[in-house]
Amino acid sequence: MKQFLGIQLIISFFCLALYAQSPAADSLVETSMDLKTLEMKQPEVGYVTVRSTPSNCWVRIDSALVGKTPLEKYELAPGTHFIQVLPKQTGTWNYQQETYTVRIVADKDTVIKANFETPVLVNSLPFGATLSQDTTKLGLTPLYVPFESFKDKQFTLSKAGYKPFIFTLMNRQAILAELEKDENYVEQEAKPQLLGLIPRRHMKSKFSLLALTIATQWTAFYFKNLADQNYEDYQQTADPLKQADFWDATERYDRISDITLGVSYTSLVGLIYMVMKY
C-alpha cells in the first residue's frame, strides 16, 4: 500500500512538472498578469455634487444636460469642466442662471450650491417707464427684479409727461403701476431745421462759413483761370520781356489760387463741424 502511494505521488509530481513547462501554464500566468494590469489601468474619476435652492433645476455640464438637482456624486473625468445650473421653468426660466468653472480632482467630490432669487415683475401703464432704485437705473418696464436683493428697497417709476410713481418692494407679488399724467408738463418742442437738414443753432456762424466757402471757391477758380491764360500767353510770345512778365503773373495767380482754395477747404471743414455738433 505504501509503495502504491509512493508511486502515485511520484506520478503526480511528474505531471505537475510537465504542466508547469506546458504553454497552458504560461497562458494562465499571462492571463493573471493581464487582469492585474487592467485593474491598475482603470481610468481615474472624480465627482461633482450640485444642489440648488429651489431644487429640481436642470444641470448642464460641458454643454450636455445631465439631470436635475440635487445631483449627487456625478462621475467626471479629472480636469476642468464648465457647469451651468438653470432655474426652474416658471415663465421666467431664462431670467438668470448660475455658471461655474470647476476643476475636478480624482476620487474627490466637488460640491456646488446654487441659490436662485425669486423674480418679481414690475410693469406700468403706460409701459416704457424707467425703473430706478436710488440713483441706479434698472431698465424700462416691463422688467423683472430679484426679490431677495431688493426687498424693502424703494423704487421710482418715471416717464415723460407723467408724475413719478414711488413704491417699496415688500412681497413677491407682481407690481402694476398706473402712472398719473402731469398736467404741468410742457413737452419741449424740437427745434426746426433748415431745409430739414441743418438745425437752427448758431445760424450766423453757419451762414458765414457757407458764404466764405462759396466765395473762396469761386475766387480760387477765377485766379486759376488767370494763371492759365498768362501761361498760354507765355508759351505763345517770343518777346523775352513779355515772357518774364507772363511767367511772373502765372506764378502770382497760382499762389493766390492755392491760398484761396486752402481757405475754402478750411471753412468747409468748419461748416461740417458746426452742422454735426449743433
What is the per-residue pLDDT for 5? Answer: 44
> Strand, helix or coil at 218?
helix
d(CA 80, CA 100): 10
d(CA 122, CA 95): 14
- pTM comes to 0.40
Residue 58 phi, psi (nearest 5): -70, 145
What is the per-residue pLDDT for 194? Answer: 46
What is the per-residue pLDDT for 94? Answer: 46
Q: What is the mean pLDDT of each run of 10 residues along the chain (278 residues)?
A: 48 49 49 54 85 88 91 93 82 64 93 84 91 89 85 92 91 89 72 48 76 87 87 81 84 89 86 75
Q: Which of 103, 49, 46, 96 is nearest to 72 (CA)?
A: 49
The total number of residues written for the chain in this structure: 278
Pairing verdict, β 98-104 and 109-115: unpaired
User: How many Cα atoms occupy the beta-carbon half-sphere of 240 within 13 Å?
Assistant: 0
